[in-house]
Amino acid sequence: MSPSSPVAIKEIEAIRTSLKNSVREGTGWAVMIGFGESYISAFAEFLKATTFQMGLLTSVPQLLSAILQLFAVKTTHVIPSRKRIVVISVMLQALTWLVIIGISYITKNVYLLVAMVSLYFIFGAFSIPAWTSWMGDLVPERIRGRYFGNRNRTIGMVSGSGVILGGIILHFLSILNTWLAFTVLFSIAFLGRTVSGLILTRQYEPVVLLETPRKFGFFPFLKKITQENFGVFSLFVMGMLFSVYLAVPLFVIFWLRHMHFSYFQLMTLMATTSISSFTAMKYWGRYADLYGNRWVMNASAWIITLLPGLWVAVYFLPPQYYFPIAVCIQMFGGASWAGYNLASANYVYDTVPQKDRLRYVSYHNAMKGAAVFSGSLLGGWMGGTSIHIQGMTDIEPTGILMVFTVSTLLRFGFLTGYFPRVKEARVRREIPAPIRFAAFVPMQGLVIDPIIGLNRTLQQFRSRLQKLWKKMEP
C-alpha cells in the first residue's frame, strides 16, 4: 500500500486521532487511580485491617491477576479483537467499585474487601496484554519514549489532582461520616473508569494477524528464561518487585499508626508522588529516546533502592521533622518511579517481536504478579512480628523497620548483581554515568522546571505591564 494512497492517508489520520484519544482515555483511568485505588489501603485501615490483612490486600489480587495473565493469549482465539477484550475488561473493572462500596458497607469484612479488590485487579490485568499489543501497533517506534512520557505526564497530573481532591473530600467528609467519604471517592472512581471505557470504543484498531505467534508455552519460556534478553529482563523486574512489595503494604500503616499522620497529610504524601512523577516524566521520555530504556531504568533504580532505608532513618529523628522529610522522600520517589515505570514498559516493545508481544507480555506480567504476591504476603507477615533488640525496646514497629531494611538490601542486590546482565535493545548515543543521570533528571523536573516557569511568568507579567503603560501614555 502506497503511503500516499487514500486508504493509507485515512489510516494515518485514524492512528493520530487514536493517539490523542488514548491520552484522554488515560485521564479517565487516572481519575480512577487518584480517587479510588490510591485510597484502598486507607479504606482497609479504616476497617481496622492488620498488617497481615494489608499484605493479603496487596498480594492476593496480584496473584490471581498473574494467574489469569497466562490465559490472556487464549482469549484472542475466542475474541479476536484486542479492542473488544480491553473494553469489556475495563467496563467490568469500573463496576467493581460499586460492588466494593456495597459489600463493604454491609459486611465491614476485610477479607471480603480483599476478594472484591481481587476482582478489580483481575479485570484490569486481563486487559493489559491486549492493550500493550494494541498500543505497540499504534505508536511509532521513533517517538515511543516521548509519546508515553507525555501521556504519562498528563495522566500523572490528573491522578495527582485526584489524590489531592480525594484527600480533601476524605478529610472533611470523614468528620461527618467516614463511610460517606469513601463512598464518594469510590463513586468518582467508577465514573472515571466508565468514561475511560467509552473513549476506548472510539479508538482505531489496526488489522494485525494475531493467530500466528510462536507456540511457546509458559513453562518452556521459564526453562529458557536465562537464554534470552527478555527473560533476563523479566527476572530482574521480578526480583525488584519482590523487594519493593515487601515494604509496600506497610507504608500506610507506618504513616497513620506510627508516624501519626492525618488523612490530609496522607493525601499530601500521595499527591507529592504524583506531582513529582508527572513533572519528571517528560525528561525521562526524552532521555529514553536518546540514551535507551535500559539506562533510564538503571538511573531511576538507584533512587528507588534507597527509599525504604530513608524511612528507617527518618523514624529515629524528632517527630517534628517527620512530615517535611517525608514530603521530600516522596518527591524524589515519585520522580524516580516515573522513569523506572516508563522505561521498563517501553523496554518490552524494544525486545519482543510484534507477533509474540501478546504472549510474552502475558508471561512477563504473570511473573510480576507472582513477585508482588510473594513479596506482599511475606512483608505483611514480617511487619506484624515484634523483634526485641537490646537497647531498642522502646521502638514499637520493629517488624516494619526490619522489612524496610531488608527491602533496601534486596533492591541493592538485584540492581548491582543482576541488572548488568540486562542488555540495551537499541544502541543509542554516548551514555552518561547512571549516578549523575539519576541525580540530574529528578532535579531537572523538580527544580529547573519551576524556575523556568517562574521566569516565564515574570517575563509575561513584565510584558503586560509595558503594554499597559504604553496605552496609558498620552
Question: How do residues 70-99 score in pLDDT, each as one tens digit?
Answer: 676 666 555 667 888 889 999 999 999 999
Q: Is residue 391's pLDDT more than 50? A: yes
Instruction: Give pTM, 2 decimals.
Output: 0.68
Q: Which amino acid is at 308?
A: P
Model confidence pLDDT, tens digit, residues 420-473: 888 876 655 555 555 555 555 555 544 444 444 444 444 554 565 555 555 545
Mean pLDDT of 316-321: 90
**Which element (helix H / strand E) includes 119?**
helix 110-138
Backbone angles phi, psi at 228, to 5 degrees: -120, 145
163: cell is 489524590
Per-residue pLDDT at 455: 46
Protein fold of 6-467:
Growth Hormone; Chain: A; (1.20.1250)
- In the chain, what percentage of residues exceed pLDDT 70? 79
Residues 66, 70, 71, 74, Cα dihedral to 10°: 150
- The Cα-based distances of 313 to 250, 306, 401 in angstroms read 16, 11, 9
Q: Are 299 and 434 in contact (CB under 8 A)?
A: yes
346: cell is 517501553
CA distance 314 to 323: 9
DSSP 329-369: HHHHHHHHHHHHHHHHHHHHHHHS-GGGHHHHHHHHHHHHH
Q: Is residue 275's pLDDT more than 90? A: no
- The Cα-based distances of 309 to 36, 296, 312, 401, 411 in angstroms read 28, 22, 5, 9, 11
CA distance 110 to 49: 6
9-13, 197-201, 403-407: lowest mean pLDDT where?
A: 9-13
Per-residue pLDDT at 458: 44
Burial of 260 (0-12, 13-18, 19+ CB in 10 A): exposed
Q: Is residue 307's pLDDT more than 70? A: yes
Collect all residues with Cβ–Cβ distance below 8 Å to 133 and sequence separation of at least 6.
Answer: 82, 208, 210, 354, 357, 358, 361
Burial of 227 (0-12, 13-18, 19+ CB in 10 A): exposed
The sign one gets for the Cα dihedral 226, 409, 350, 365 is positive
The C-alpha cell 481496622 sits at: 48
Q: Is residue 178's pLDDT more than 80? A: yes
Q: Are 148 and 285 in contact (CB under 8 A)?
A: yes
The C-alpha cell 499530601 sits at: 268
Residues 69, 75, 77, 83, Cα dihedral to 10°: -110
Domain ranges within the chain, ordered by starting residue:
6-467
224-238, 257-271, 342-356: lowest mean pLDDT where?
A: 342-356
Model confidence pLDDT, tens digit, residues 234-243: 899 999 999 9
The C-alpha cell 490530609 sits at: 264
Per-residue pLDDT at 187: 95
Per-residue pLDDT at 98: 94
Mean pLDDT of 314-340: 89
The C-alpha cell 546482565 sits at: 421
Q: Is residue 233's pLDDT more than 80? A: yes
Mean pLDDT of the chain: 79
* Count of Cβ atoms closer than 10 Å to residue 18 Cβ: 20
Q: Are 144 and 22 in contact (CB under 8 A)?
A: no
Per-residue pLDDT at 473: 52
Burial of 222 (0-12, 13-18, 19+ CB in 10 A): middle
Give the closest residue to 266 by CA, choosing from 136, 174, 390, 198: 174
Collect all residues with Cβ–Cβ distance below 8 Å to 270 and sequence separation of at least 6.
Answer: 38, 163, 167, 330
- In the chain, what percentage of residues exceed pLDDT 90? 20
| Residue 388's pLDDT band (cuts 50, 70, 90) | low
Q: Are 145 and 274 in contact (CB under 8 A)?
A: no
